[in-house]
Structure 1
Amino acid sequence: MRLNHRQGVAGEDAAWSFLKAQGCVLIARNWHCPFGEIDLIVKNSNMTVFVEVKYRNNRRFGGAAYSITPAKLMKLQKSAEHYLQKHGLSHAPCRLDAIFIEGNEAPKWVQNITG
């Protein structure tokens, strides 16, 4: 197992623990489709939330937030749309969020990263 993969799994574990403490319920983890992968899919109240988790050791090169490029955002949106269609949830309330973790800092939950 590569070091980056272990750190990614640890970051996803930390993000899930954080979201669980906020009252979210896990629907899926590392959900794959032809467009890509969604790290976490959770239910927050009546909202289906697609969560991208980004972990960085430090803020060099812009930190975790700068790793979500426009191309990555497009893949996440297409993946979320695919999930909704596949599960018959096309009209369900949903949003795309991110959890950013940098070093040993607490996770930062940014809601509705699509604007």
Structure 2
Amino acid sequence: MTTAQARRAIGAYGEDVAVRHLTGLGMVLLERNWRCADGEVDVLLRDGATLVVCEVKTRTSLVAGTPHEAITDAKLARLRRLGERWVLERGIRPDGIRVDLVAVMRPRRGAAVVEHVRGLC
């Protein structure tokens, strides 16, 4: 397996964990890995009448930094714009759009540790 394939596999694992966690909280999965010319959203969900644009960051170690450190102001602004574009393309009108982060730490042994940060913007 190449490094790129390993990264994709770890990312897919983290997204699966995140979706299970979020739907377990009662959110409704709308779409995964939505892409357009401006970027990609990992997971889109509905939390009541609110659209949740969710960024999932998965790490196996902290060598590259924490998942939280990967979320810059520019990334947040792009995620918000992508959520607005998704809404326009789907023709829906949520009460609001929220950007969340799900940080998944996958240790070499044991279960993944999941942290859900709501409302980054």
- Of 29, 33, 56 in structure 2, the residue corresponding to residue 30 of structure 1 is 33
Give the 3-state SS of the residue equivalent to 1:23 in structure 2.
Answer: coil
- In structure 1, stretches of 5+ residues that fail to align are none
Instruction: Report the residue type matching 1:13 in the other structure.
Output: D
**Identity of paired residues, percent?**
29
Cα displacement string for residues 27-48 of structure 1 (whole angstroms, at most 9, x for unaligned residues): 0000111210011111112211
Structure 2: how far apart are the matches of 1:61 and 1:106?
17
Instruction: Report the residue type matching 1:3 in the other structure.
Output: A
1:76 alignment partner in structure 2? 79
- Of 62, 85, 95 in structure 1, the residue corresponding to residue 65 of structure 2 is 62
Cα displacement string for residues 31-83 of structure 1 (whole angstroms, at most 9, x for unaligned residues): 11121001111111221111000001123343111011233222212211111
Q: How far off its partner does 1:90 sit?
A: 5.1
With structure 2 as the length reference, what TM-score do the two structures score?
0.84
- Cα RMSD for the two superposed structures: 1.7
Rg larger in 1 or in 2? Answer: 2
Counterparts of 1:1-115 in structure 2, within 5 Å, are: 2-89=5-92, 92-104=95-107, 105-114=112-121
Instruction: Report the residue type matching 1:107 in the other structure.
Output: V
Structure 2: how far apart are the matches of 1:21 and 1:53?
16
- How many pairs are equivalent? 114
Give the 3-state SS of the residue equivalent to 1:51 in structure 2.
Answer: strand
With structure 1 as the length reference, what TM-score do the two structures score?
0.88
Structure 2: how far apart are the matches of 1:42 and 1:28?
7
Give the 3 Å change call, closer, same or farther, for CA 91–6 of structure 1 in structure 2.
closer
Q: How far off its partner does 1:103 sit?
A: 2.3
